Amino acid sequence: MTFPAELERVASTVEQRLGTLLGADQATLPASTKLGDAMRYAALGGGKRLRPFLMIQSARLLDVEETAALDAACALECVHCYSLVHDDLPAMDDDDMRRGRPTAHKAFDEATAILAGDALLTLAFEILSTPQTHEDATTRAELVLMLAKASGWQGMALGQALDLSAAHQTFSAEETVKMQALKTGALFRFACEGGAVLGRADPQGRAALAAYANAFGQAFQLADDLLDAEGNAEAVGKAVAKDAERGKATLVALLGIEGAKAHLAGLVAEAEDALAPFGDKAAMLIDAARFVAERRA
Amino acid sequence: MTFPAELERVASTVEQRLGTLLGADQATLPASTKLGDAMRYAALGGGKRLRPFLMIQSARLLDVEETAALDAACALECVHCYSLVHDDLPAMDDDDMRRGRPTAHKAFDEATAILAGDALLTLAFEILSTPQTHEDATTRAELVLMLAKASGWQGMALGQALDLSAAHQTFSAEETVKMQALKTGALFRFACEGGAVLGRADPQGRAALAAYANAFGQAFQLADDLLDAEGNAEAVGKAVAKDAERGKATLVALLGIEGAKAHLAGLVAEAEDALAPFGDKAAMLIDAARFVAERRA
């Protein structure tokens, strides 16, 4: 199967499972609440589901069936969706549009959006700790610990806090990369290392997936920054050039567009090298790294 | 030891351990960030620590050492503190004062308060899933699952969403009790049932603690509503009579002050009855129920 077809297939599987986990097929309380509606609005109906894709493919690299990684991948997506809802809030990035639709606080209201984000984050840990997600309690507890670290005060939340502070100070290239490694990189690392944990990878295998994830995350962010610098609002479905407007530090601003593109190619090569020990089995993950680097929307 | 002295002793122990878990004694990154400062501001320096107290005492009833329940109790308090930070936000209850100090979004800013709440919630799951908190992974995963359910879209977060909706509709007495059981009751139940899980209680023991927690939670809420109706701002350290002002449904409004006091006495008796099988060992928990019912501040 080609990469775009596989990405689409996994996204569809994730969408369906997330809907079930979010009570989309229940007509009764507590699913049928405004809060439930807002959670489903924020989590369903869009997105490439890249993080779940990475988790499922990383697990598959270690011979884990897709169904055995699916719920953990959905938990990860819940955290990603919560972060989008909160980042879009007026007090944060103040975005009105997301994936071509009104953001959650625009479609509902601010209080409901805050609560929906809170509840999606909480649901992620509920899913990860449910015996149905993984039969082994040690694995469940380890995934909870890893996801909490990746998304908390020393991970994604810190990255967002630092990003907000960037409006008031100048970041060096090193500081920018470090901030982005927290803000967007941490969840990519969880996706790949979480897949490694599901597949009981040996230390070398886990380290290889972590190295891949680091390169992937940086490539993803750099491609995003390039889109921001070059893109247009129609193509990416959200306001563009906002970073430059707000004086946010990005590698593109620091390296220039051509310099950033060269760096991006190097990151893709790094991602490929990391997975070399897995041989042909890693083709789909390598294609994923190429895809995020080349995407123009 | 008398109840007030024991409550104070446990609060002091919790305060110290929470400080350590929140990096209060670290001068280096990542602890020394604005986000870390806001988390410590929100979680340290106040509060009776009633929920940790209940968890520690419930565990003790089953012969669990205090040190073996302390970190789980701190995780619970992190969730409680996150809920206060988010509930106080302008888009929610819009409170400027909490425990006699400016609320987190007043002391810092809205974006930082939202992130600090998010990060406290996430930290709770990090603490619960850490091997140091409990040696048995099954217990860790079970506590994570219980806390996520208690605080999420079918628990506390739903209660807050329903409470916000109460401004636009009339609640029956039954609906009010149900909303409060979610908004404030769910964490009290986690405290007591979590203590039961730490102490590997048999089904009867766990059910007894759950019944106690239900009565305790209702008594706590009713006493709070009575304070709101009768109290003064100085005594409770936050704006009072706000509920009535906003037309929020409370049992006091539905039963009247005298009717509510009679109902409160019945709830305390219910809490006592639930723990009768434990005999004298339950004295501290029974005193706790009397305390919350009688408090006037």
Chain A / chain B CB contacts < 8 angstroms: 152
Tokens of B208: 């007894």
Q: How far is B117 from chain A (nearest CA, A)?
A: 9
Q: What's the per-residue H, E or C state across chain B?
A: CCHHHHHHHHHHHHHHHHHHHCCCCCCCCCCCCHHHHHHHHHHCCCCCCHHHHHHHHHHHHCCCCHHHHHHHHHHHHHHHHHHHHHHCCCCCCCCCEECCEECHHHHCCHHHHHHHHHHHHHHHHHHHHCCCCCCCHHHHHHHHHHHHHHHCCCCHHHHHHHHHHHHHCCCCHHHHHHHHHHHHHHHHHHHHHHHHHHCCCCHHHHHHHHHHHHHHHHHHHHHHHHHHHHCCHHHHCCCCCHHHHCCCCCHHHHHHHHHHHHHHHHHHHHHHHHCHHHHHHHHHHHHHHHHHHHCCC
- In this structure, are residues A121 and A82 in contact, taking their beta carbons and an 8 Å threshold? yes
* pTM greater than the 0.80 cutoff: yes
The pLDDT-based confidence of B255 (bands split at 50, 70, 90) is confident
- Using one digit for the tens of pLDDT, what is the confidence trace for B55-103? 999 999 999 999 999 999 999 999 999 999 999 999 999 999 998 999 9
pLDDT computed for residue B242 by the predictor: 59
d(CA B289, CA B287): 5
* Residue of A112, A117, A138 with shortest CB distance to B161: A112
Its sign, for the CA torsion B44, B45, B50, B55, is: positive
Any idea what the CATH number is for the domain that residue B81 is in? 1.10.600.10
ipTM: 0.95
- The pLDDT mean for chain A works out to 91
**Token pair of A152 as six digits:** 């908390």
Task: Quote the pLDDT of residue B58.
Answer: 98
Residue A2, chain B, CB below 8 Å: the answer is no
Count up the domains in chain B and report the number: 1
Contact B126 A86 (CB under 8 A): no
pLDDT of residue B6: 97
Residue A91 is nearest to which of B111, B147, B152, comparing CB atoms? B111
Residue A63 and residue B106: Cα distance in Å, rounded? 51
What value does the mean pLDDT take over residues A177-187? 94
Q: Is the pLDDT of residue B214 over 80?
A: yes
The pLDDT tens digits for A47-100 are 899 999 999 999 999 999 999 999 999 999 999 999 999 999 999 999 999 989
Interface of A with B in 69-128 (CB under 8 A): 82, 86, 89, 91-92, 109-112, 114-115, 117-119, 121-123, 125-126, 128
∠ CA A251-A254-A257, nearest 5°, is: 75
Q: What residue of B is the nearest CA neighbor of A139?
A: B137
Among the partner-chain residues A111, A144, A145, the one whose CB lies closest to the CB of B92 is A111
Give pLDDT tens digits for B184-196: 999 999 999 999 9
Mean pLDDT of A21-34: 77
Binned at pLDDT 50, 70 and 90, residue A28 comes out as low
In terms of residue numbers, what domain contains A257?
3-294
Residue A29: predicted pLDDT: 58
DSSP three-state, residue A241? coil
For residue B240, what pLDDT is reported?
Answer: 46
How far is CA A206 from its chain centroid?
A: 19
Contact B120, B82 (CB under 8 A): yes
Structure-model confidence comparison of residues B154 and B27, the more confident one = B154
Residues of A in contact with B150 (CB under 8 A): none
Closest chain B residue to A37, measured at CA: B153
- The nearest CA of chain A is from the CA of B142 a distance in Å of 7
Q: Does B229 touch chain A (CB under 8 A)?
A: no
In this predicted structure, what is the pLDDT of residue A81?
98
Residue A101 φ/ψ, nearest 5 degrees:
-125, 160
- pLDDT tens figures, A224-273: 889 888 865 455 555 445 555 555 667 888 788 999 999 999 999 999 99
